[in-house]
C-alpha cells in the first residue's frame, strides 16, 4: 500500500480516500477538486477559495511562474503559500500543457522539479509529453518512452517532503495507457495524473476518455491516487469518479466565466441564453440574469466564476454523499442524460462492469433500476457469477411470480429482472432487494435471461422449467434449449 | 380563451404562462410554486418568502383560519395581505383536505367562499370532495356529482374580483377525471386544481398520477391553468410541468424540515444520513451537516426549511429555463432516473406522446437522444406522421450511411435512429439535427424501423430497399415484407 493514500469507502470504481500531503501538513479527502490558479490573473483569490468554497487544495502552474519576471522572484522569496495566502495544499504543474500547446518549453524535468520545490509546492510534476489523441502508434510509443525516462529521472531526484506526480500518457491507445499505468505504478512516485485527455473532453469524446482511464487504472492498481488532469466540468465528475479518479482540477470555472459561460451539471449555458438562473447558489439567489449581464466585465466574470465554482464543489459533495450512500451509479445514470455523448461514456463505463464489480461493496443501501443501462450494472454481473456457485435441486421451476402451492420453496426459484433466478431465501439480501419499475423493459428481461443461461450452464444436469408472464419471443431466444418454457399469459 | 391566463411558450405539454390575479393586482408567471403557509405556524415568514425566495404567490388554509379563534378575527379585521405582510397573491384552500382527513367539516361552499372573500383571498376554493384512490366506481361517481354540484353553486356566487378554483376529482378513474375536467372547463370558474393526488404521491405512484393528470387535461383543454394540488416535491415538478401543470404548492418544504428531511431533486434524504450537503444553496454553503444537526430544534427546522425551499424554487427556475430552451423533455428524462417509480411515471408520460405532440413546437433548439425512452418522444412520432405526407419516388433506397455515388439524392433517403427515413434535404431541419449517441440502442433502431413501416404503408406503390450496417434481426422483423433488405456489415 502507498502510505500517503488510504481508501475509506468504495462504490463501483469510485472511492472516498485520504491523501496525506506531508509538506503541506494536511490530509485532503478525495475525490477532491483543485481549482486552478493562474499566477497572472486573480479571478477569485485563493484565500476566498479556501474560506468561501472550502477548497482544501489548489493547483497552479510553476512554469508560468518560472517564466514571469517579478512573479518568479516573489514566489522564490515568499513561497506559494504566503504569496497566495492559502492554508491548504498547493500542487504545481510543470509546463507540459505549454509544451503541448506551443511545441517547446525552456526547462527540464530536473530544473522544474527543483524550482517547484524551491517555491514551496506540495505536489510537483515532471515535464511529461502530453501526446494528443489519434496520433500514430509510433509517435505515441516514442513519446511515452520519453515520458517514462523522465519519470525515472524524477524518481531519482531528492524532492524532500514534496510529493511528485507520475503522469500517464499513451494517446488513445488503451494498451499503451495500461502499460504506462503499470510503469508509473512501479516507480516510487506518488500521484498519477491521466494526461492529455483535454482534447477529448473538449470534443465531448467521453467514451474514449472512459477507455483511456479504465486502461490506466488497470495498469495502476487500486491503491494509486489518480488525477484526471484537466477535467473540470462538473457534468462528468460522477462518471470520472465511478471509474476510479480521485483528483480533478478546474480551470473551467474561471475560463468559462471569462466567456460568459455558466456551468451546470447538465452542461454549459451561455449567459445570454439564460432567462432564469437554474441554480440555488448564493450568486443565483442574489442576482437575476439581467443584473449579471449588466455588471461591469470584471465583476461579471467574478460573479460567474463564483457560480461556476459553487456548482462544481456542490457536485463533488453530491458524489461523495452518493458513495457513502452506495448510490454512485444512480447518480452516473442521471448525469448520463445530460448529453448523448455522456450516454456514450456511461455505456462504455458499463463495458467495464467486471472491473467495477471488483471494488463494489457486497451490500449497499439499495439498488435502483432507473434505465435500460441499469441492467448492465456490476451488481447484476455479480449475481450471475454467484449463480454458478449456488446449489441447485435436480429439478427446478423458475417463475417471475409466486411459487405454485404444489412446490417447495427450494424447488421453485424466483426470476426477477434484471437479476434473473435466485432461491427465495435470498430475496431479502442485496441486490435482490432492488427497487425496480413496474414497467420493466427488454434490457432487464434480457439480463434475467442471461442469468437463466448462466445457471443452466453451471448446472447442466438440472432439469429447468421457466414459467413466465408473456415475456417477448426475442428475449426468450436467449433461454438455453433444454429449458421448458411455460407462458402463463400477461400478468 | 380564458382572459386571466395566457400561454407564452410551449415545450411538450409544458408551458410558460401568465396568470393575472386581479384582486391582488399582480400577474404571476407559471409554472409557479406556491409555498403553503400554516396559519398557526410560521416556519419561514411570508415576508421572507417574498424577499429571500422571490415567492410571487402563496397558499394558506381558510378553514383553519375560520376555525381558530383569534386568527379568524385578525384575518377578518386586517385581511390576509396585511396579516402576512405579503406583497404577492394569496390563494386559499377551503377545508377539503380536512374533510378527507377527518370525514367532516363545519362549513358549506357558500360559507367558506364568503369567508375567503372577507379575509381578502385572491383565489378562493369551494368545498370539493377529495375522493381517495382505488375506491369503488360508484363512490367515485357519487362524490364527483357532489363536487360538480358545489362547483355550479360556487359559479353562482358573487365573489367580486376573487378568482375561484374548480377542483377536478374522480379518484383513479381516468374517464371520470376527463369528464370532471370537461365539466369544470364549462363553468365560469378560473383555476383548475387536480385534487386528491397526495395519497398517490406519498406512495410514489407516479404512473397513476400521470394517467389522472393526462385525463383531466384532455377534459380541460389547453387554455385552462392547472394546479397539481399537493405536489410539492421538486423531484417530480418537471414531469408535472411536461404534462401541462402550471401551479404547484409546497407544504413539503416545511413539513419535511420538521422531520429532519432534506429535499433534493433526486429524492429525500434524512439529515442523519448526510455526511455532506449535496447542494450549493446559501444554507448548504454556510453550514456543515454536523453544524445543522447540532442546532436547536426550531433553528434546525428553519434552516432545513430554507434549504428545502431553495431547492424547490431552483428546480422551478430550471424547468422554466428548459421550456425556453426547448429541452424540457431532456430534463424530465434526467429526473426519471431519481427513482424507479419516477421512471414508471416517465414511461407513462410517453404513452401520451400524441397528446404532447399537439402542443410541442415544430422547431426547438436541439433534440438530445439521452435514453431508450427518447425513442418514444413526441418529436419522433411527429416525424413518422410527416412521412405519410412526403412525396416519394417510385423506387427508393434507404440507407443508414451515405448515399452510393450511383444514386441521386432524391432516390436515396437517409435512415437515422430514432427517426427513421427522411430525404437528405431535410437533414438540417428539426428534429433531424438531433444529437444522438455513437452507441445506439434497440429502442432507437426499432423506432427507425417503425418509421420505415409508416413510410411503406403510406406509399404502397413505392419499391423500397433498406441497406443497413448490421442491424439486429429482431429489430428488422418490423420492416414490411415488400422491402428488400441489404446488410452492409458492421460499420
pLDDT digits (tens, 9 = 90+) for A248-290: 999 999 999 999 999 999 999 999 999 999 999 999 999 999 9
Walk across the sheet containing B463-468 and list its strands: B420-422, B412-416, B395-399, B463-468, B484-487
Grid coordinates 434473473 are at which residue? A420
- CA-closest candidate to residue B7, choices B181, B225, B214, B184: B225
Q: Is the pLDDT of residue A451 over 80?
A: yes
Question: How far separated are the first and last CA of chain B, in Å rounded?
Answer: 53
Give the cell for residue B37. Answer: 403557509
Predicted model pTM: 0.97
Question: How far is Cα B334 from Cα A336, in angstroms, rounded to an integer?
Answer: 8
Q: Which residues pair with B93 in a beta bridge?
A: B61
Residues of B forming the active site: 93
Q: Which of A241, A266, A280 to mutate to test the interface with B (most CBs of B within 10 A)?
A: A280
Residue B491, pLDDT score:
65
Residue A1, pLDDT score:
59
Percent of chain A scoring above 90 in pLDDT: 93
| Mean predicted confidence (pLDDT) in B471-490 | 94
> Phi-psi region for residue B171, left (φ > 0), alpha (ψ -120 to 50) or beta?
left
Contact between residue A226 and residue A7 where contact means Cβ atoms under 8 Å apart? no
Q: Which residues pair with A261 in a beta bridge?
A: A270
Please give the interface size between A and B, counted as residue pairs whose CB atoms are below 8 Å apart.
167
Instruction: Name B138's Cβ contacts closer than 8 Å, sequence gap at least 6.
Output: none
Residue B102, pLDDT score:
87
Question: How far is Cα B388 from Cα B400, in angstroms, rounded to an integer?
Answer: 20
| Mean predicted confidence (pLDDT) in B201-226 | 97
Q: In B423-472, which ranges are continuous DSSP H helix?
A: 442-458
Helix, strand counts (H, E) of chain B: 20, 18
| Mean predicted confidence (pLDDT) in B410-433 | 96
Instruction: Name A442's Cβ contacts closer than 8 Å, sequence gap at least 6.
Output: A372, A472, A474, A475, B442
Residue B1, pLDDT score:
59
Q: At B58, is the secondary structure helix, strand, or coil?
A: strand
Contact between residue B46 and residue B84 where contact means Cβ atoms under 8 Å apart? yes
At A324-355, the pLDDT tens digits run 999 999 999 999 999 999 999 999 999 999 99
Rg over alpha carbons for chain B, rounded to the nearest Å, is: 26
Nearest CA in chain A to B341: A437
Q: At A26, is the secondary structure helix, strand, or coil?
A: strand
Q: Which residues pair with B21 in a beta bridge?
A: B26
Give the cell for residue B69. Answer: 379563534
* Helix orientation angle between A206-220 and A174-186, rounded to the nearest 10 degrees: 40
- CA-closest candidate to residue A191, choices A324, A28, A25, A82: A28
Residue A112, pLDDT score:
96
Mean pLDDT, chain B, rounded, equals: 96
Contact between residue B340 and residue A435 where contact means Cβ atoms under 8 Å apart? yes
Residues 424-443 (A) with a CB less than 8 A from some CB of B: 435-439, 441-443
Query: Is the bond preceding residue B391 a cis peptide, omega within 30 degrees?
Result: no
Mean pLDDT, chain A, rounded, equals: 96
Give the cell for residue A483. Answer: 429449458
- A317: nearest CB among B276, B344, B370: B276
At A152-194, the pLDDT tens digits run 999 999 999 999 999 999 999 999 999 999 999 999 999 999 9
Kind and range of the H or E run holding A330: helix A328-335
Question: How far is Cα B206 from Cα B204, in angstroms, rounded to an integer?
Answer: 5
Question: How far is Cα B206 from Cα B342, in angstroms, rounded to an integer?
Answer: 6
CB of A416 within 8 Å of a chain B CB? The answer is: no
Between residues B342 and A42, which one has the greater pLDDT? B342
Q: What is the ipTM of this complex?
A: 0.96
CB of B285 within 8 Å of a chain A CB? The answer is: yes
Confidence of residue A404 (pLDDT cuts 50, 70, 90): confident
Amino acid at each position: 500500500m502507498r502510505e500517503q493514500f488510504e481508501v475509506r469507502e468504495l462504490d463501483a470504481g469510485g472511492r472516498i480516500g485520504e491523501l496525506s500531503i506531508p509538506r503541506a501538513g494536511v490530509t485532503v479527502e478525495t475525490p477532491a477538486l483543485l481549482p486552478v490558479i493562474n499566477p497572472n490573473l486573480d479571478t477569485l483569490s485563493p484565500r476566498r477559495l479556501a474560506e468561501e468554497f472550502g477548497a482544501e487544495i489548489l493547483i497552479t502552474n510553476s512554469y508560468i511562474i518560472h517564466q514571469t519576471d517579478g512573479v518568479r522572484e516573489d514566489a522564490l522569496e515568499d513561497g506559494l503559500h504566503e504569496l497566495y495566502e492559502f492554508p491548504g495544499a498547493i500542487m504545481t504543474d510543470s509546463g507540459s500543457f505549454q509544451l503541448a500547446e506551443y511545441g517547446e518549453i525552456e526547462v527540464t524535468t530536473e530544473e522544474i522539479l527543483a524550482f517547484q520545490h524551491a517555491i514551496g509546492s506540495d505536489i510537483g510534476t515532471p515535464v511529461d509529453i502530453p501526446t494528443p489523441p489519434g496520433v500514430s502508434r509510433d509517435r505515441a510509443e516514442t513519446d511515452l518512452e520519453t515520458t517514462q525516462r523522465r519519470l525515472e529521472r524524477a524518481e531519482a531526484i531528492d524532492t524532500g517532503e514534496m510529493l511528485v506526480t507520475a503522469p500517464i500518457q499513451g494517446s488513445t491507445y488503451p494498451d499503451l495507457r495500461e502499460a504506462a499505468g503499470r510503469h508509473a505504478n512501479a516507480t516510487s512516485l506518488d500521484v498519477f495524473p491521466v494526461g492529455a485527455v483535454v482534447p477529448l473532453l473538449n470534443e465531448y469524446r467521453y467514451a474514449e476518455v472512459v477507455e483511456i482511464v479504465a486502461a490506466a487504472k488497470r495498469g495502476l492498481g487500486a491503491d494509486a491516487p489518480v488525477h484526471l488532469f484537466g477535467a473540470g466540468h462538473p457534468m462528468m465528475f460522477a462518471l470520472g469518479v465511478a471509474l476510479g479518479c480521485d483528483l480533478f482540477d478546474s480551470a473551467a470555472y474561471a475560463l468559462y466565466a471569462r466567456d460568459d459561460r455558466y456551468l451546470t451539471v447538465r452542461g454549459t449555458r451561455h449567459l445570454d441564453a439564460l432567462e432564469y438562473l437554474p441554480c440555488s447558489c448564493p450568486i443565483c439567489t442574489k442576482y437575476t440574469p439581467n443584473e449579471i449581464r449588466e455588471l461591469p466585465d470584471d465583476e461579471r466574470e467574478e460573479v460567474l466564476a463564483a457560480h461556476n465554482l459553487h456548482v462544481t464543489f456542490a457536485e463533488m459533495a453530491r458524489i461523495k454523499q452518493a458513495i457513502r450512500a452506495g448510490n454512485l451509479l444512480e447518480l452516473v445514470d442521471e448525469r448520463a442524460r445530460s448529453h448523448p455523448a455522456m450516454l456514450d461514456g456511461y455505456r462504455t463505463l458499463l463495458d467495464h462492469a467486471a472491473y467495477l464489480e471488483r471494488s463494489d461493496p457486497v451490500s449497499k443501501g439499495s439498488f435502483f433500476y432507473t434505465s435500460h443501462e441499469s441492467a448492465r450494472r456490476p451488481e447484476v454481473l455479480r449475481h450471475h457469477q454467484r449463480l454458478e456457485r449456488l446449489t441447485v435441486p435436480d429439478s427446478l421451476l423458475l417463475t417471475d411470480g409466486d411459487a405454485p402451492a404444489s412446490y417447495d420453496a427450494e424447488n421453485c426459484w424466483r426470476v426477477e429482472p434484471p437479476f434473473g433466478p435466485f432461491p427465495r431465501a435470498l430475496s431479502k439480501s442485496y441486490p435482490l432487494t432492488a427497487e425496480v419499475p413496474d414497467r420493466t423493459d427488454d434490457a432487464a428481461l434480457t439480463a434475467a435471461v442471461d442469468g437463466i443461461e448462466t445457471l443452466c450452464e453451471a448446472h447442466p444436469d438440472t432439469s429447468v422449467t421457466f414459467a413466465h408472464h408473456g415475456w417477448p419471443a426475442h428475449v426468450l431466444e436467449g433461454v438455453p434449449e433444454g429449458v421448458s418454457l411455460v407462458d402463463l399469459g400477461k400478468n
